[in-house]
Structure 1
Amino acid sequence: MQPMALWKRVLILLVCLWGIAAAMPNLFYAKVEAHNDAVAAIEAAGGTATAEQEAARAEWPDFLPSALVNLGLDLRGGAHLLAEVQVEDVYKSRLDALWPEVRDAMRDLRDQVGAVRRAPSPDGILRVTISNPDGMTAALEAVRALGSSVVTLTGVGQSTLEVTAEGNDIVVQLSEAEKQATDDRTIQQSLEIIRRRVDEVGTREPTIQRQGEDRVLIQVPGIGSASELKALIGTTAKLTFNAVVSRTNDAGADPGPRNLILPSMNEDGVYYIVEATPVVSGEELVDAQPAFDQNNRPAVNFRFDTTGARKFGDYTAANIGAPFAIVLDNEVISAPVIQSHIPGGSGIITGSFSVEESTQLAVLLRAGALPAEMRFLEERTIGPELGADSIDAGRIAALVAMGAVGLFMIASYGLYGTFAVIALMVNMALIFGIMSAIGGTLTLPGIGGIVLTIGMAVDANVLVFERIREELRSQKNPFRAVEIGYERAMSAIVDANVTTMISAATLFILGAGPVRGFAVTLGIGVVTSVFTALLVTRAIIEIWFRISRPKSIVV
C-alpha cells in the first residue's frame, strides 16, 4: 500500500483535532453559554463587569473555543407567532400621499376645472371634486398622467392608478395589478424589517416566512415569551415630523380638515393638532443610535438620507420660531420650537426615556417602520422544559444508533470495524464542530439528519471493506488489497454521496424552518462522512500497518 504523504497525514490530524476541539464546548452547553453571554455583556458595558458576570465568565476558559451550535425552537423553546399584514393600510397611505400631487396637477388647469377640493371617501379611495364639470376630460388626463407602469411581469402595460369620473368627482384608486404588486412588496418589506429587528437583539436563526397571501410566520428560539416577541416586532415604529397647528387639552377637539389630533407621550392630558401630511418620514431615516442629551438624559440620535436632509433643512430654515412635532406611532414624543436652521439632516429625539427604552427605540427606528399594521392571529410560547425533553430524546436516539452501528461493524469486520467506529466518532465531532463554527441551528429534524448520517458514514466503510475482501480472495497481498480496495470503492462512494448532497441542497433551497435544519445537518454529514471514510479510516489503517506489519489480514 502506497503510504500517504506526510503533509496529508498532518493535515488530516489537524482537521480531526480541530473538529474535536470545536465540538467540545457543546458538551458543556450551559456553562459555555453563560460564559458567552457574560463576555458579550461586559464588552457592551465597555469592559465593566458585575460580580455575577465575572463568575459566569470564569465558567469557561477564554483560551478554549466557545462557539456553540444554536438550538432551534423545538429544542430550546421560544416564541411562535402567526400575523396578518393589514395591506389595506398601504393603499390608504399611498392615496393620501397622492393628494398633494393631484392638487398641484389641477393648479395648471384652474381655468378649466374651477375650484378643487378633496371630498370625503372610504380608505383606499381618493375622491376629488371640481366645480366646473366641463373640464373633467382634461382633469382625468392630468391625474392619469401621475400614474406609472406597474413593475411586475403580469402587470406590464398597466397603470398603477385607476381614474374614473362620477359626476363632478374624480375617483382615484390603485389598479388591481398595482394592488397585487403592492401586496407582494409590503409582505417582503415586512419580512425584512422583522428579520432586522430580531437580528438587532442578537437572536439567531429565526424562522420568518410568508404564509398565504398576507400572513407571516415568525418563530424565534430562545426568546422568553410570545408577548416579548410581539413587543419587539409588533410595534410599527412609524416616525414622522409634522408641522404643529395648535395645542389643546381637549381630546375631542375638531382638528380641522387634513389635520390630526394626537396625544402627547410625555404630557398627561395634552394633545397636539398637527398637519396630517408629514414634512419628513422615518422612511428617509438612515441611522438611529441611543445617546444622551446635554442634560445626560437618555435620547436617540438620528440621521436622514439626502432627500430627507434637504426637506428637514428647508423646513427648519423657513419655520424658525414654530413648534415641530416628532411623532412616533401616532403619539407626539416632543414638540420642540425650531430655534435655527438645522442643516445636515441629523438631530436628537429627547423624552422621558430610560436607557433600555432609548436603546429599543433606536433598534426599531434603525430597522425601519413596518409598512402596515400586523394583526396577530396565533401566538404560542414553547417552554424550555419541552425543548430539554426533545434534546434528551434526540441524544438517546443518536447514542442507540451509534451503538447499534458500532456493534454491527465490529461483529462484521473485526478490527477494521473498530477503525470504522473510531472514524465515526471523529465524524460526529466534525459535524458539531462545523455547525458551531458556522452558527448553524440544530432542530429535532436536524437530529434526525445526524442519526441518518451515522448510517451513511459506515456505508462508505462497508463498500471499502467489501472491496478489500474481494481482493484478498484474489490472493492479493494485504498491502495491495487495501490499496486497491480504496481505489475501486471511491467512485461508488463519491457517486452515492453526490446524489445525497443534491437532495440536501434541494431541501435547503426549497424548504423552510425544520426542513432546512435537516438539510444542513445532512449536507454537513455527507462531507464529513466522505472525509472520514476515505481519509481518516485509511490513515488509521496505515498507522496500524506500520506498527504491526501483518503478513495476512482478516476483514
Structure 2
Amino acid sequence: MKKPFNSKLFFFIFAILFGIALSIPSFFQTQGPKIVLGLDLQGGLNLLLGVKTQEAIKTRYSSIASQINYYTLEEQILLDNLSAQNNSVQFELLDSNEKSKIDGYLKEISGLKIEEQNLNYTLSLTEDEIVNIENFAIEQAISNIRNRLDQFGLSEPSVTKQGDDAILVQLPGIKTQEEEQRALELISKGGHLQMMAVDEARNARVSSMTELEAESLGDVILPFINNPEQKILLKAIPVLDGEMLTDARAAYDQNGQPIINFTLNTQGGKIFGDFSGKNVGNRMAVVLDGKVYSAPVIRERIGGGSGQISGGFSVQEASDIAIALRSGALPAPITLLEKRSVGPSLGADSIQASLVALITGAVLVMGFMVFYYGIAGMIANLAMVINILLVVAVMALFGATLTLPGMAGIILTVGMAVDANVIINERIREGFRAKENFIKSMENGYANASRAIFDSNLTSLIAAILLYMCGTGAIKGFAITMSIGILASIITAIVGTHGVFRALQNYIMKSGNYALWFGYKERAS
C-alpha cells in the first residue's frame, strides 16, 4: 500500500498555506499585499474628458515652422514672413538659388502638401496626416494622463478611450475635495514647455500693442504667471519645445525655493546651446502652457542641454508640473465633459450584497455536495474554499484591482470549482458500478475526468483572455478573477483532491463504505 503522504498532497498543502497567508491582509486589513478595491467598491471620481484635436493640428503647424526656422538659420538660407497659421505655414524665400535646397528639406517632412508661387510657399497638411494627428492626439493623451496618474500615486487608475474622441478616467480612492481638485489640475495641465525669444526691438511698446498687430509682426503677446497684467512680446516661432525634453524634476534653488530642473535630448541641447551662444545679452522666455514663468537675460552660452524653471511654486505645484513635463505634454487641450463622484457608501453596499450572494451560494452548494457525495463532497468543499483563497491571494500578490464585476467572477468561481469535483466523483462512481476497487476507480476516474475538465477550462480561459484583451475596465475585472479562478480550480480539483484521496485510500479501502465516502449506493440486482 502507498504511503499516505504524496507529492500531490504536498502541493495541495502548499496551495492552502499560500492562499491563507496572502489572503489574510485583504480580509483583515493587516500588513502585507492587499487587493485594491476599484472605483465601484471604494468610491472615487469618474470623469469623461474631451480632446480638442484641432489644437493638435495647430501645434503641428507651429512645430513645422520651428523646424524650418532652425534649418534655414543653420544653412544660412534667407526667409521672410515665416509664420504658422491655424491651417498652414507660410514664408517667402529671398534667394532663388536656395530653392532646390529648401525644396529637398520640405520633402523630408511627412504628410506635407507644398504649394509654391514666385518663391512664396504655403505648406499645409494632407487629409490623411490630419486624421493621423487627431487619432494620435487622443491616444497620446490617454498615455500621458495614465502616466501622470501613476506618478501621482493613485491606486490602479483606469484611463480608456470612449467613443471616437472622448476619454473615460476612473480614479478610485479620491475622497476629499482637495484630492479631487489636484487630480483634475494634473489631468488637464497641458505640460507644453517652450523656449521663446523675446522681441527686444519691439517689447518696449507691448502694453499698447494689440494681438492682431503682434501677429502681423510674427510675434505673440503672453502674460507672466505671477502677474497676468504684465505682458511680454515674444517671437511666435519657439526656439524649441517640450518634444525635446527628456526629464524634469522638482528641486530647490540656493535660496531654498522650489524650482523645476529639466533636461533636453541631444538635438534640443544643441539648439539650446546654439541659440544662447548667438543671443548673449538678449532674453529667452521659459513658457509653460502659454504662461511666461521667467525671461532671464542670457549671460553666456548655455551648454549641457539642461535648464531650470522658477516661478514662485509651492512644493506641490513644482512636483505636479514636473510630473506633467516628465510624462509628456498633452498634444491637445482637455475639456471636462462630465464629472461624477462615487461615494464609498455605494461601494460598501455593493460589497455587502456581493458577500451575501457569495456566502449564500457557497452554503447552498456545500450543502448539496455533502448531501449527495458524503465525505467526498466535504473534500470538494474544502477545495472550493481554497480556490477562493487562491484567487484573493494571487490578486493581492500582483496588486490587482477588484471591481464589482470581479466580485461576480469570484462568485462564478464557486460553481466552477465544484463542477470539476462533480465530474470526478461521477467518474469514480462509474468505476464502482463496473465492480472496480476504490484505487482503480479513483485513478481511472481522475484520468478520464481530467481530460474533460482540462478541455472545458481551457476554452473558458481563452474566452476570459479575449474578454481581458478586448473589454473595458469593468469587463477586464471580471476576466481577471475568472482567469485566476479557472487556474486555481485545476490546482484544487485535479491535483489537490486527488492528493487527499491518495492519502486516505487505505482508510477508504478498509471501510468499504462507499455510501459514506462518495454517496454511492449499490443497486440491488
Q: TM-score normalised to the size of structure 2? A: 0.88
The match for 1:80 is: 46
Letter of the aligned partner of 2:160 in structure 1? Q
What CA deviation, in whole Å up to 9, does each residue of 1:432-457 have, x standing for no partner? Answer: 00001111111111111111111111
Distance in 2 between the 1:321 and 1:116 partners? 24
Query: Is structure 2 residue 484 aligned with structure 1 residue 484?
Result: no
The 1:547–1:228 alpha-carbon spacing in structure 2 relative to 1, beyond 3 Å, is: farther
Residue in structure 2 matching 1:235, options 186, 189, 198: 189
After the TM superposition, which residues 138-217 of structure 1 pair with which residues of structure 2 at under 5 Å, given as runs?
Answer: 146-148=106-108, 160-164=111-115, 170-217=121-168
The match for 1:48 is: none
Distance in 1 between the 2:105 and 2:297 partners? 39
Distance in 1 between the 2:487 and 2:347 partners? 28
Contact 2:79 2:91 in 1 (8 A): no
The match for 1:125 is: 88
Contact 1:144 1:161 in 2 (8 A): no
Identity of counterpart residues, as a percentage? Answer: 35
The match for 1:471 is: 431
Point out where structure 2 has 5 or more consecutive residues left out of the alignment: 519-525
Contact 1:248 1:270 in 2 (8 A): no
TM-superposed deviation, 1:210: 2.0
After the TM superposition, which residues 348-427 of structure 1 pair with which residues of structure 2 at under 5 Å, given as runs?
Answer: 348-427=308-387
Letter of the aligned partner of 2:438 in structure 1? P
Distance in 1 between the 2:224 and 2:273 partners? 25
Distance in 2 between the 1:306 and 1:168 partners? 33
1:336 alignment partner, SS class: coil
After the TM superposition, which residues 21-60 of structure 1 pair with which residues of structure 2 at under 5 Å, given as runs?
Answer: 21-28=21-28, 32=29, 60=30
Residue in structure 2 matching 1:311, options 250, 259, 271: 271
Letter of the aligned partner of 2:60 in structure 1? R
Distance in 1 between the 2:100 and 2:278 partners? 34
1:402 alignment partner, SS class: helix
The 1:312–1:485 alpha-carbon spacing in structure 2 relative to 1, beyond 3 Å, is: same
1:316 alignment partner, SS class: helix
1:351 alignment partner, SS class: coil
TM-superposed deviation, 1:124: 1.7
1:245 alignment partner, SS class: coil
2:198 alignment partner, SS class: strand
Deviates more, 1:309-318 or 1:454-463: 309-318
The 1:507–1:396 alpha-carbon spacing in structure 2 relative to 1, beyond 3 Å, is: same
Query: Is structure 2 residue 507 aligned with structure 1 residue 553?
Result: no
Contact 1:106 1:116 in 2 (8 A): no
The 1:521–1:248 alpha-carbon spacing in structure 2 relative to 1, beyond 3 Å, is: farther
Point out where structure 1 has 5 or more consecutive residues left out of the alignment: 33-59, 151-159
Letter of the aligned partner of 1:422 in structure 2? L
Query: Is structure 2 residue 233 aligned with structure 1 residue 279?
Result: no
1:475 alignment partner, SS class: coil
2:128 alignment partner, SS class: helix
The match for 1:14 is: 14
What CA deviation, in whole Å up to 9, does each residue of 1:441-499 have, x standing for no partner? Answer: 11111111111111111000000100111111222222332222112211111111011
Distance in 1 between the 2:197 and 2:161 partners? 37
2:308 alignment partner, SS class: strand
Query: Is structure 2 residue 209 aligned with structure 1 residue 253?
Result: yes
Contact 1:305 1:345 in 2 (8 A): yes
Query: Is structure 2 residue 244 aligned with structure 1 residue 288?
Result: no
TM-superposed deviation, 1:227: 4.3
Letter of the aligned partner of 1:232 in structure 2? L
Contact 1:477 1:552 in 2 (8 A): no
Residue in structure 1 matching 2:300, options 327, 340, 344: 340
Distance in 2 between the 1:115 and 1:293 partners? 41
Aligned residues: 506
The match for 1:502 is: 462
Contact 1:140 1:170 in 2 (8 A): no
Query: Is structure 2 residue 266 aligned with structure 1 residue 266?
Result: no
Distance in 1 between the 2:94 and 2:294 partners? 40
Contact 1:95 1:126 in 2 (8 A): yes
The 1:251–1:371 alpha-carbon spacing in structure 2 relative to 1, beyond 3 Å, is: farther
Distance in 2 between the 1:237 and 1:182 partners? 18
1:421 alignment partner, SS class: helix
1:186 alignment partner, SS class: helix
Deviates more, 1:294-303 or 1:542-551: 542-551
Deviates more, 1:327-336 or 1:227-236: 227-236
The match for 1:91 is: 57
Contact 1:79 1:229 in 2 (8 A): no
The 1:193–1:252 alpha-carbon spacing in structure 2 relative to 1, beyond 3 Å, is: farther
Q: TM-score normalised to the size of structure 1? A: 0.83
Query: Is structure 2 residue 35 aligned with structure 1 residue 69?
Result: yes
The 1:102–1:209 alpha-carbon spacing in structure 2 relative to 1, beyond 3 Å, is: same
Contact 2:219 2:236 in 1 (8 A): yes
Residue in structure 1 matching 2:174, options 223, 226, 248: 223
Residue in structure 1 matching 2:482, options 519, 522, 527: 522
Letter of the aligned partner of 2:199 in structure 1? V
TM-superposed deviation, 1:168: 9.2
The 1:4–1:241 alpha-carbon spacing in structure 2 relative to 1, beyond 3 Å, is: farther
Contact 2:417 2:493 in 1 (8 A): yes
The match for 2:453 is: 493
Query: Is structure 2 residue 415 aligned with structure 1 residue 455?
Result: yes
Distance in 1 between the 2:186 and 2:333 partners? 14
Contact 1:236 1:373 in 2 (8 A): yes
TM-superposed deviation, 1:528: 0.3
Contact 2:395 2:401 in 1 (8 A): yes
The 1:424–1:488 alpha-carbon spacing in structure 2 relative to 1, beyond 3 Å, is: same
Distance in 2 between the 1:544 and 1:118 partners? 88
Letter of the aligned partner of 1:85 in structure 2? V
TM-superposed deviation, 1:130: 7.8
2:436 alignment partner, SS class: coil
